[in-house]
């Protein structure tokens, strides 16, 4: 016999500003269940969780909580301002008989000491204190809204392990697919005001969702055909017969009403990067670079080579120096020692974690166009700003909305929309997955994977890194960084553990790609470079420089404002010359790179 539910929401209805947000939502939580609550941004997931916690009322429906059950709710933006210290805030969440020492244990595990002033905490520190508060009582029901937001990977891995060891029933909202897949056993999908339940964890959700949507589309198509048949009868049937068959006329009216009331799935984001010119084969080469602030080494003796088409993930705890390393690799910050060589024809576009360039007072249309115009250039073609907004699921009515009035997910889409409108061949993405729903995450992954240029991404999303990264650079601690081939899971296999910093004795030599252990085999005889290969290695740099000068001269000629109007045929010929020169340069760089790698392998 199934256990009685601890929490039950049935036929929940709620209207905001004249729009029905929840139509007939349900959520049943039994002892020990672990439920993923999923849905698009704006679908009402957080609101449903607030109703479940008692924080928000509802227009209709029933809410039931087992009277003897303890319930704790983690909001997206916890308020700690009424407390003097973080320990006082966490202890205020304990109930009679709860272990008061657990509060201090959780704060310590989350990197806090309990004496911090809540009013001076960063977003990540506030989230850690709030997590300690809801976990400390070991409640019967845990409602967690984006628990991994603002957390770095070591804390996310610790939190996942802690939750996995608890016996509480849980409802989780999160954009972290790995987190949801590992922890949940059931999934509730909130879509167009209604809920559907799958008695399997999030790992099985996406295939099930796609199947449901396909069935809906088939049903919609059948309804459309049925309406066409009935309309044909009304138009061409015998008049007297039409007058007599009132029932059939009423049926047609009912079908039309059903079709009008069908709420289609929200459209998908149309995410496409505006690609710039092809960069050189070598994008970044760093040799033995270091950076020290005071007595702390942020980057110590690190070397790497980034080639065109690479997708590099950078991971590590908050404060490890990920942003510093990015600034050095992009030439924005000079190393204290060592050398950074940037490739040719680089066009950099950067998405910062804080979305710092988004002025809250700026209108949405101006944030996308830069102001003063209603059009953007997307891959060389003009596009009206309203059309571009619709590609990212904004309505025409939102064009004059200040950025500060948008939700976190909407601001994330604005930042991506603006970034992708810029011509680039080198993308740097700092926490791009923050506040994005799962469908938009899928499209972002496809865009990054299909991007013709080079991508460097800082992310705490393990699944995202597994899907897009060709290698991962991780902070090992004490300024040591190591590059591993493959995605996050490949790094864990090669490293033997997650992202916790290790002692220097266990750290691989920084800058060298770590390889999985293999069985010892006899060393083959080393080959030698031929005279032709040596000659090419020595002469190719001069050829590349000559081609770059030629490309620059052609670009200068093409940039003359009257060239096209004065000589259209000459302009077309010069454009073809530019393409040919760039292709020759790319081929020369590829050949030089292969020979340089060969030389390094031979020399050991």
Task: Retrieve residue 229's tokens.
Answer: 């048949």
The residues, any chain, with a CB within 8 Å of residue 431's CB and separated by 6 or more, are: 353, 458, 459, 460
Q: What topology does CATH give the domain 531-603?
A: Helix Hairpins (1.10.287)
**What's the N-to-C CA distance of the chain in angstroms?**
68
- Condensed to tens digits (0 to 9), the pLDDT of residues 147-199 reads 998 888 889 999 999 999 999 999 999 989 999 999 999 999 999 889 999 99
Class of 7-207 in CATH: alpha beta
How are beta strands 296-307 and 169-173 bridged, if at all? unpaired
- Beta bridge pairs of residue 8: 28, 64
The residues pairing with 485 across neighbouring beta strands, listed in sequence order, are 471
Could you give the CA distance from residue 459 to residue 47 in angstroms, rounded to a whole number?
27
pTM for this prediction: 0.72
Structural domain spans, the chain: 7-207, 218-261, 282-514, 531-603
- For 304-341, the pLDDT digits (tens) are 999 999 999 999 888 889 989 999 999 999 999 999 99
Q: In the CATH hierarchy, which fold is given to the domain comprising 282-514?
A: Rossmann fold (3.40.50)
Q: What is the pLDDT of residue 591?
A: 81
Q: What is the mean pLDDT of the chain?
A: 83
Q: Which two tokens stand for residue 592?
A: 């030089």
Q: What are the tens digits of pLDDT across the range 214-224?
A: 887 777 767 66
277's tokens: 């010119």
Cα pseudo-dihedral 22, 23, 26, 27, rounded to 10: 0
Q: What's the mean pLDDT in 351-355?
A: 66
Nearest one of 171, 316, 308, 398 to 582, comparing CA atoms? 308
What element of type H or E holds 552? helix 531-558
Which residue, 372, 377, 373, 368, is CA-closest to 276? Answer: 377
Asked if 73 and 103 count as a contact pair (C-beta separation under 8 A), the reply is: no
Gap between the Cα atoms of 85 and 114, Å rounded: 6
Alpha helices in 2-73 (DSSP H): 45-53
Lowest-confidence region among 52-61, 390-399, 508-517: 508-517
Asked if 24 and 194 count as a contact pair (C-beta separation under 8 A), the reply is yes
**Which of 1-15, 332-346, 439-453, 496-510 is most confident?**
332-346
Model pLDDT, residue 543: 86
Instruction: Give the C-alpha distances (Å, rounded to integers) separating 541 from 309, 344, 593.
Output: 21, 12, 10
Asked if the domains at 282-514 and 531-603 fall in one CATH topology, the answer is no
The answer to whether 137 and 95 have CB atoms below 8 angstroms apart is yes
Q: Calculate helix-pair angle for 153-165, 123-135, nearest 10 degrees.
A: 10
* Residue 438 per-residue DSSP state: H
Long-range interactions of 226-232: CB distance < 8 A, separation 24+ = 226/255, 227/252, 227/255, 227/256, 227/259, 230/255
Q: pLDDT tens digits, residue range 454-488?
A: 999 998 899 999 989 999 999 988 899 999 999 99
Confidence band for 522, pLDDT divided at 50, 70 and 90: very low
3-state secondary structure of 533: helix
Reply yes or no on whether the pLDDT at 437 is more than 80: no
Q: Where are the alpha helices (DSSP H) in 382-476?
A: 385-391, 408-420, 438-450, 462-468
The secondary element (H helix, E strand) that includes residue 555 is: helix 531-558
């Amino acid at each position: 016999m199934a256990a009685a539910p601890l929490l039950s929401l049935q036929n929940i209805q709620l209207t905001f500003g004249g729009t029905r947000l929840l139509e007939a939502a349900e959520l049943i939580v039994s002892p020990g269940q672990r439920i993923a609550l999923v849905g698009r941004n704006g679908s009402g997931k957080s609101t449903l969780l607030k109703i479940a916690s008692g924080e928000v009322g509802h227009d209709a429906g029933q809410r039931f909580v087992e009277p003897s059950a303890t319930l704790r709710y983690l909001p997206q933006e916890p308020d700690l301002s009424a407390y003097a210290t973080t320990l006082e805030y966490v202890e205020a969440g304990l109930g009679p008989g709860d272990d008061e020492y657990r509060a201090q244990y959780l704060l310590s595990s989350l990197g806090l000491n309990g004496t911090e002033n809540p009013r001076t905490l960063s977003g990540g520190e506030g989230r850690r204190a709030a997590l300690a508060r809801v976990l400390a009582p070991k409640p019967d029901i845990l409602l967690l809204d984006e628990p991994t937001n603002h957390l770095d990977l070591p804390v996310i891995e610790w939190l996942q392990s802690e939750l996995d060891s608890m016996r509480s029933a849980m409802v989780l909202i999160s954009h972290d697919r790995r987190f949801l897949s590992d922890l949940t056993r059931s999934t509730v999908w909130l879509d167009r005001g209604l809920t559907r339940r799958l008695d399997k964890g999030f790992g099985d959700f996406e295939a099930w969702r796609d199947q449901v949507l396909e069935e809906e589309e088939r049903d919609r198509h059948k309804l459309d055909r049925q309406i066409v048949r009935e309309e044909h009868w009304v138009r061409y049937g015998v008049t007297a017969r039409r007058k007599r068959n009132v029932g059939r006329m009423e049926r047609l009216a009912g079908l039309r009403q059903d079709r009008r009331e069908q709420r289609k799935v929200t459209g998908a984001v149309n995410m496409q990067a505006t690609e710039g010119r092809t960069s050189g084969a070598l994008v970044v080469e760093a040799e033995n670079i270091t950076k020290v602030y005071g007595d702390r080494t942020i980057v110590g003796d690190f070397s790497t080579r980034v080639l065109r088409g690479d997708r590099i993930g950078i991971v590590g705890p908050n404060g490890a120096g990920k942003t510093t390393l990015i600034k050095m690799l992009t030439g924005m910050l000079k190393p204290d020692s060592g050398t950074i060589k940037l490739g040719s024809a680089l066009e950099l576009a950067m998405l910062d974690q804080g979305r710092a360039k988004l002025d809250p007072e700026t209108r949405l249309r101006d944030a996308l166009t830069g102001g003063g115009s209603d059009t953007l250039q997307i891959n060389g073609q003009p596009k009206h700003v309203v059309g571009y907004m619709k590609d990212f699921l904004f309505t025409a009515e939102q064009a004059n909305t200040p950025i500060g009035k948008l939700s976190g997910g909407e601001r994330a889409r604005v930042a991506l929309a603006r970034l992708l409108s810029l011509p680039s061949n080198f993308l740097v993405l700092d926490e791009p997955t923050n506040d994005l729903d799962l469908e938009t995450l899928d499209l972002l992954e496809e865009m990054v994977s299909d991007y013709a240029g080079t991508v460097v991404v800082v992310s705490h999303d393990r699944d995202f890194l597994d899907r897009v990264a060709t290698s991962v650079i991780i902070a090992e601690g004490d300024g040591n960084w190591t590059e591993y081939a493959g995605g996050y899971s490949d790094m864990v296999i090669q490293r033997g553990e997650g992202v916790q910093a290790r002692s220097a004795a266990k750290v691989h030599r920084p800058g060298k790609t770590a390889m999985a252990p293999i069985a010892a085999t006899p060393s083959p005889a080393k080959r030698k470079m031929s005279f032709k290969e040596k000659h090419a290695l020595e002469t190719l740099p001069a050829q590349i420089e000559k081609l770059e000068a030629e490309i620059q001269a052609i670009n200068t000629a093409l940039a003359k404002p009257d060239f096209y109007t004065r000589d259209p045929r000459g302009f077309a010929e010069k454009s073809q010359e530019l393409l040919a020169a760039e292709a020759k340069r790319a081929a020369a760089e590829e050949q030089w790179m292969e020979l340089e790698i060969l030389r390094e392998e031979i020399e050991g």
